[in-house]
A and B are shown apart, each in its own frame.
Chain A
Amino acid sequence: QQQVKQSPQSLIVQKGGIPIINCAYENTAFDYFPWYQQFPGKGPALLIAIRPDVSEKKEGRFTISFNKSAKQFSLHIMDSQPGDSATYFCAASGAETSGSRLTFGEGTQLTVNP
């Protein structure tokens, strides 16, 4: 059972555009929601993360919006650049998910055209 659903599967934007990637989760016990960025041939790297006690978090050009009642969260990339072209994964974890139990979404392949 997929507990974190991510959309869209792929996304193409022009430089300067604002791509938005959405995720929905099912487990209300999740309390940590990270986004990972992965370049071809590399491992995923943590980009930004949010806890459910806030509705938004910004780090540079990257923003997470969080809607606890809807059980949804999204990643916005402001002023996107070709260097942002990568695969993005949302994930979720919680205190009851012991060990390294991050549950990942399916991934979104983002292409930013020059």
Chain B
Amino acid sequence: NAGVTQTPKFQVLKTGQSMTLQCAQDMNHEYMSWYRQDPGMGLRLIHYSVGAGITDQGEVPNGYNVSRSTTEDFPLRLLSAAPSQTSVYFCASRRQTAYEQYFGPGTRLTVT
């Protein structure tokens, strides 16, 4: 199993540009989520999904959109990037009946 994979690993955007961060998992996990990691702030939940077709907001959802059309994929969209979105983004997944989350390797995003 590849586990949770994320692409790209690094990305630089200009303010106002849009992009999609990709996340995929091959463990057939129902739950998937996106976090952002900023120095001194831990990991903060952006959006999450409890299954295909179902998404919900986390702690810091503004400026981000998600969709879940398949069990495997959970892309995160930035519609109009802002410098405040400079961060490291992690995707995670878990089984419905378990708390343990598996994290991807992260995407480091810089918005200039």
Contacts and interface: CB of A to CB of B under 8 A. Distances in A.
A42 B4 CA distance: 12
Interface stretch (B12-20, B38-46, B75-83): B38-46
Contact of A99 (B40, B42, B48, B104): B48
Contacts, number: 65
Interface residues of B, number: 28
A100 B92 contact: yes
- What range describes how many residues of A lie at the interface? 20 to 34
Contacts of B43: 44, 89, 102, 104
B54 to A, nearest CB: 9
A93 B99 contact: yes
Interface of B: 4, 31-33, 35, 40-45, 48-50, 56, 58, 90, 92-94, 99-106
Interface of A: 4, 6, 9, 32, 34, 36, 41-46, 49, 89, 93, 98-107
